[in-house]
Structure formats: C-alpha cells, structure tokens
C-alpha cells in the first residue's frame, strides 16, 4: 500500500548544478541513474532500495529499425533514415541532407564526438532520436497556414485584462504580464483606461487593483510586440476617459508606435490580412461620437440624449456643450476638444460597440463597415442555443470577442471550444488563470508555428447554404485518430526522487482526452505502472472524429495515490489537425504551461 506523500516541489538538475553545461549534466545524471538505484527511508530507520530500470526501445521501434535497414545490419545510414522519415513518418519532403544533419546531432549528443567520426545510427541512437522532441516533435513548428485571408478568417490568441498579475479584485496591475503574454505569442492585449486628474491609468475599475501607467504599457508593447511572431498585435481598449484624455491617449499612441501603427483612411468594408499587417499594431475600441450638432440643440433635447453608462465620451462632450457660453474663446476650446476626439477616433481600426437593437438583430444585420462585437461567455451560451447559425454567419465577415463572466474573481477561465465552434475569433482568456481551460488555449495556439493566428476550418467560412451548424449531432465520422502511448521518461531528471512519494518510486498513468464538438469528446486512461520512473504502457486507443478540424488532443500524466489526491506529473495539449503521424516525442508541461526540460512521452499517431 502506498504511504502518504511529502508535499515537495520538483528540483531540476540545472538548479542544483548551475555551473555545469546542460547537456553534460543531463548525461551525467542519466548515466548514474541508469546504472544505480534509489534509496527510500521507511519510518526513519531502514532503507528500501529500488533499482533504476534501463530505458529500452519498444518492440515497435526495434521492428521499424529492422524494416528500414539492411538485413542483419546494426546501423542505419542517412539514406535509410531519409526513407524512414518519408515512409513511416510521412515527412515526404525530407532530404538526404536533413537525415545527415539529424545523425550528426544525435551522435554528438550521445557520444560527444565530432560529426565526422560516424555517419550512421545504431538502434539506441535511433531510439534517442525518436525521443528528442526538438528533432521529432508531434507538430510542425513553422508557420504554414495561408496568411492572406481577412482577419475574420482566423482564430486569434487573445488576452483578457492583460495587465493583471493575479485575481480580478486586488492584484497588482503591471506591464510584466503584458510582456509575458507577448513572449508567449498572444496577439490581442486588453487595457482598461481610467482617468486620474490629467493622467491615464490602466487598472481594473472599481476594484482594489493597483494601477500602472498607460504609457508604460504602450512602451512595453512596442518593445515586445514581435519577439515571438511577426503578425499584427491588436490592442483592445476599454475606455473610461474624458474627451481631453482621449486626445492625450491618441498622442501617446501615435508618438509611441509611430510607423508601426496601422489605421485606414476610412471605415473598413473587409478586414486586411495578417500577412499584409506584419509588424503592425492596431487599436480596437468603441469610437467616440461626434457632437457638433449638440451645440445647436436646446436644453429639452439635451435631456433626451443617451444615458448609457458605457458612453462616457458622449456624456462628457454633451456636458461641455451645455456649460459653454457664446464667447469666441469657448468656441475655440470646444473645436479644439472635438478635434482631439476626432484624432482619437481616427486611430481606431477595428470598431467595437454594443448593437443599437437586440443582440439577435445585430447578428443578422449585414453591415458594410465590418466591426467587432463582444459577448460574455454567458451571453454566447444563451445565444448559441437558438441562434448558432447566425453567430457563424456573423463571424465570417465580422469579429466576435468572447470574454469571461464577471464573477470569475480568481481569474479562472471558461471552456473555449464553444466560441471556436461558432467562429469567434477572439476568445479572451485570463492568461494568469492557470488550469485545464488555459491548457486548451495553449493547445490551439501551438498550431501554425505558434504565431498567434490559426486559420479557421473551411466549415466556418463557406457559403451560407453550406453553413456549419454547431448544434448538429448526427454528423458522419470523417476520420479516426489512433493514438499509441509507449512509454514516458525524464521525471527522474527533473524532480527530486521523493517528489511523488516519500517511500517508493512513482506509479504513473496517463489520461488522454479529445476536446472539440460534443460528438467527438472522449476520455481514455492507461493502466497504472507501479514503482517505475520510466513507465512503459504500450497501449493504443482510437478516437472517431466528426469534426477533426476543431479537435484538440489533451494529455495528462498523473501519479496514483491510494490515500490522497493523485499527483500531477505533466500535461500537454495538441491541435489534432497539426499532428504529425508516426513515432513522436511529446514534451510535457507543468500546470502553468511551462515546458519541462526532460519529461516526455513516446507516442505514435495515425489517421485512418
């Protein structure tokens, strides 16, 4: 029976041996573990010794090696490796030079000899190659989608309240989470603007969050906007400013971004493409209204003016007009103020705002200037039940942004798939709200080289008579994904030997999920492998998929505990359309989405 576990955090080998090179340290520790054993203290007075099992190639790997080498041969040549990559791994574009480069890297890593010393792989080298996620990862790492379609044809990596360091009520506001988001590929940054005398602050209004200056956020965005992706960054502004401060904000934006800032001369009738907007920054917010005509209205007409709490600009301009005398100086002041507001409006590329009528009417309206509409997760769920097709149709030309409901005080997130199923481009997430929902977001935007833009499947952009119905349940199976999980390795290098259990090696098992349209969702689980740092499961699962274009493969490793909650051993999420078939090394991440240095699984993917 398993004993209770110590709540210790993993300690990486790099933390313990900072002065040693990463590769040498890994080889040294791996070598000592493979030839040795672990000692676990029982009741503080005697030891239990567990031998470290040597990691061996699965039988399928041995068979593949034999199949692509000459009979009786113990080494694989570059040409044979090229043929293996082309036939077994379906990487038909692999060149002989690519195979030679792989061999050189593997031999150098394993044997620390020059690339001229050996030009072939033995079976252990071949196995090492298959377990190297940088050489044999599960998805493509380059941008390969068509980037010339309008922005409305892409899912866009979108943040919510991007300046918050923690919860929605009392955490600090800072440029640090904005920088981190941009470094991780996020392309839409949200800033809430509030006045403070003659300053512009970014904070979550009417809460205890501490502010950060607007100019500090803009400067950080300029510096880090394109460190991870060349494709456009969109800044969505939730604007609570007076007209005077809107004019000041416009000056800050233009002076900070200069030629990086993109804005059209007139309202857009179709959004430009990500390709045409490389290294450009755009503003999206609700445009301020023009109120020149207000000055000619009498007081009774003024009283009937809009009282929408969200339209602070309208009220401020109206108040300014009502309190003005007929002096020439006041006329000049008003015109100057209006010019500042017009300058602010001119910078807005993606116009946002609430519809004049009902949401249902807004979704059905065909508008010439394209726009952005925002819905809460609750509003989307409600509308999706009765107007799913209208939402899909709306998102073919316009942009739909979905944001977390206001009660998510802890910065938790919602399930993003309902937004993606309906074509919503901006499914806005709290990037500091770690959890399973955020893992799905990470998985979606690992697609297309992690550039932050993922082209929507054809089913969401095709003509009205072939419109995809997200509520459809009797869809035919398009393909079946077969997933075989062979083994896992690397925990012994990244974690202290008592991290999972104080008295014995861990008991790992793996859970595999398909997340997508309701008809495709599924869950499988491997058997538990007891007392082994290198578990070998060798199990295969099949997942029939009706809409594979919207499916995600979520993988989670747990360590079984009979008396407590099972420990977390790593996770990843992968976009099914991007999976590379054949043997693949699948790296695992921690709960925050940070990739472990050594923990990975050997898996095989096949579509039938």
Looking at the DSSP bridge assignments, the partners of residue 39 are: 49
Q: Which of 469, 567, 576, 466 is nearest to 521 (CA)?
A: 576
Say if residue 413 is in the same domain as residue 518. Answer: no
What pLDDT band is residue 116 in, cutting at 50, 70 and 90? low
Say how many Å lie between the first and final Cα of the chain, rounded: 42
Separation between Cα atoms, residue 266 and residue 276, nearest integer Å = 17
Domain boundary among 68, 99, 131: 131
Number of folded domains that form the chain: 3
- Give catalytic status of residue 160 as yes or no: yes
Strand pairing of 595-607 and 582-589?
A: antiparallel
Say if residue 224 is in the same domain as residue 266. Answer: yes
Classify residue 276: in a domain, yes or no.
yes
pLDDT in tens, 392-417: 999 999 999 999 999 999 999 999 99
Q: What is the pLDDT of residue 368?
A: 80
Domain boundary among 456, 487, 520: 456
Say if residue 433 is in the same domain as residue 510. Answer: no
Separation between Cα atoms, residue 371 and residue 349, nearest integer Å = 9
Secondary structure in 3-state letters for 167-190 = CCCCCEECCHHHHHHHHCCCCEEE
CATH of the domain at 68: 1.10.238.10
pLDDT in tens, 76-102: 999 999 999 999 999 999 999 999 999
Angle 461-465-469 (CA atoms, 0-180°, nearest 5)? 65
Say if residue 123 is in the same domain as residue 245. Answer: no
Say if residue 392 is in the same domain as residue 268. Answer: yes
Q: What is the pLDDT of residue 340?
A: 74
Q: Which of 59, 57, 78, 58 is nearest to 69 (CA)?
A: 78
User: Which residue range(s) make up the domain with 602?
Assistant: 479-607
Classify residue 35: in a domain, yes or no.
no
Classify residue 597: in a domain, yes or no.
yes
Average pLDDT, stretch 317-342? 59
Say if residue 208 is in the same domain as residue 94. Answer: no
CATH of the domain at 579: 2.60.40.150
Q: What is the pLDDT of residue 354?
A: 73
Q: Which of 50-59, 86-95, 326-335, 535-544 has the lowest mean pLDDT?
A: 326-335
Residue 469 CB partners (closer than 8 Å, separation 6+): 388, 389, 392
Q: What is the pLDDT of residue 525?
A: 98
Cα 39 to its chain centre, rounded Å, is: 40
With a cut of 50, say whether residue 438 has pLDDT above it.
yes
Cα 233 to its chain centre, rounded Å, is: 15
pLDDT in tens, 13-52: 444 444 445 445 444 444 444 446 778 776 666 777 787 7
Classify residue 560: in a domain, yes or no.
yes
Say if residue 155 is in the same domain as residue 125. Answer: no
Q: What is the pLDDT of residue 1?
A: 43
Tell me the whole-structure pTM to 2 decimals.
0.87
Classify residue 89: in a domain, yes or no.
yes
With a cut of 90, say whether residue 153 has pLDDT above it.
yes
Under DSSP, the state recorded for 121 is B
Cross-sheet strand order for the sheet of 582-589? 522-525, 508-515, 552-559, 567-575, 582-589, 595-607, 479-489, 536-545
* Contact criterion met (CB below 8 Å) for 428 and 162: no
Classify residue 333: in a domain, yes or no.
no
From the candidates 153, 204, 422, 497, give the one annotated as an active-site residue: 204
Say if residue 436 is in the same domain as residue 550. Answer: no
Q: What is the pLDDT of residue 34?
A: 44
From the candidates 160, 240, 497, 499, give the one annotated as an active-site residue: 160
Classify residue 495: in a domain, yes or no.
yes
Domain boundary among 102, 131, 160: 131
Quote the percentage of the chain above a pLDDT of 90. 74
With a cut of 90, say whether residue 370 has pLDDT above it.
yes
Q: What is the pLDDT of residue 292?
A: 36
Average pLDDT, stretch 172-189? 98
- Give catalytic status of residue 204 as yes or no: yes
Q: What is the pLDDT of residue 33?
A: 46
* Contact criterion met (CB below 8 Å) for 455 and 154: yes
What tokens were used for 177?
């989470």
Classify residue 313: in a domain, yes or no.
no
Separation between Cα atoms, residue 281 and residue 235, nearest integer Å = 7
């Amino acid at each position: 029976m398993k004993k209770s576990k110590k709540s210790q955090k993993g300690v990486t080998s790099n933390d313990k041996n900072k002065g040693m090179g990463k590769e040498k340290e890994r080889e040294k520790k791996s070598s000592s573990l493979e030839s040795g054993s672990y000692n676990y203290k029982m009741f503080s007075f005697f030891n239990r010794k567990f031998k470290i099992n040597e990691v061996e190639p699965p039988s399928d790997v041995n068979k593949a090696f034999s199949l692509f080498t000459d009979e009786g041969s113990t080494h694989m040549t570059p040409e044979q490796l090229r043929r293996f990559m082309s036939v077994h791994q379906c990487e038909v574009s692999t060149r002989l030079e690519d195979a030679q480069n792989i061999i050189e890297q593997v031999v150098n890593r394993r044997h620390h000899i020059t690339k001229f010393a050996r030009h072939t792989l033995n079976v252990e080298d071949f196995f090492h190659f298959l377990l190297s996620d940088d050489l044999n990862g599960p998805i493509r790492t380059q941008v390969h989608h068509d980037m010339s379609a309008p922005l409305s044809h892409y899912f866009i990596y979108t943040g919510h309240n991007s300046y918050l360091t923690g919860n929605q009520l009392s955490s600090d506001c800072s440029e640090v989470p904005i920088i981190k988001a941009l470094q991780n590929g996020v392309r839409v940054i949200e800033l809430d603007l509030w006045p403070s005398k003659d300053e512009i602050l970014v904070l979550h209004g009417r809460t205890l969050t501490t502010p950060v200056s607007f100019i500090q956020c803009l400067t950080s965005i300029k510096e880090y906007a394109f460190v991870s992706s060349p494709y456009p960054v969109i800044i969505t502004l939730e604007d609570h400013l007076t007209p005077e401060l809107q004019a000041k904000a416009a000056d800050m934006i233009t002076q900070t971004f200069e030629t990086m800032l993109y804005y059209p001369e007139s309202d857009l009738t179709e959004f430009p493409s990500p390709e045409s907007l490389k290294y450009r920054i755009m503003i999206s917010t609700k445009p301020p209204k023009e109120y020149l005509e207000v000055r000619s209205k009498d007081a009774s007409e003024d009283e009937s003016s809009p009282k929408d709490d969200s339209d602070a600009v309208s009220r401020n301009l109206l108040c300014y007009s009502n309190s003005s005398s007929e002096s020439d100086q006041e006329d000049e002041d008003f015109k100057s103020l209006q010019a500042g507001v017009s300058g602010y409006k001119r910078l807005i590329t993606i116009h946002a705002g609430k519809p004049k009528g009902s949401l249902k009417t807004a979704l059905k309206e065909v508008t010439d200037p394209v726009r952005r509409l925002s819905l809460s997760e609750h509003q989307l769920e409600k509308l999706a039940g009765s107007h799913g097709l209208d939402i899909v149709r709306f998102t073919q030309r316009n942009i739909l942004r979905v944001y977390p409901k206001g009660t998510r005080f802890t910065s938790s997130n919602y399930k993003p798939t309902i937004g993606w199923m309906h074509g919503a481009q901006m499914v806005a997430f709290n990037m500091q709200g770690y959890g399973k929902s955020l893992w799905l977001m990470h998985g979606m935007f690992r697609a297309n080289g992690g550039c932050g833009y993922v082209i929507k499947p054809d089913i969401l952009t095709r003509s009205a008579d072939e419109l995809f119905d997200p509520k459809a349940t009797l869809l035919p199976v398009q393909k079946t994904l077969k997933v075989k999980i062979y083994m896992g390795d690397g925990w012994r290098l990244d974690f202290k030997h008592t991290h999972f259990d104080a008295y014995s090696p861990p008991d790992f098992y793996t859970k595999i999920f398909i997340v997508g349209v309701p008809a495709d969702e599924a869950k499988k689980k491997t058997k538990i492998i007891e007392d082994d740092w290198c578990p070998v499961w060798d199990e295969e699962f099949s997942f029939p998929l009706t809409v594979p274009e919207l499916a995600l493969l979520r993988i989670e490793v747990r360590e079984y505990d009979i008396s407590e909650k099972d420990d977390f051993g790593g996770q990843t999420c992968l976009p099914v359309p991007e999976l590379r078939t054949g043997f693949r090394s699948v790296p695992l991440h921690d709960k925050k989405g940070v990739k472990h240095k050594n923990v990975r699984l050997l898996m095989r993917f096949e579509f039938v």
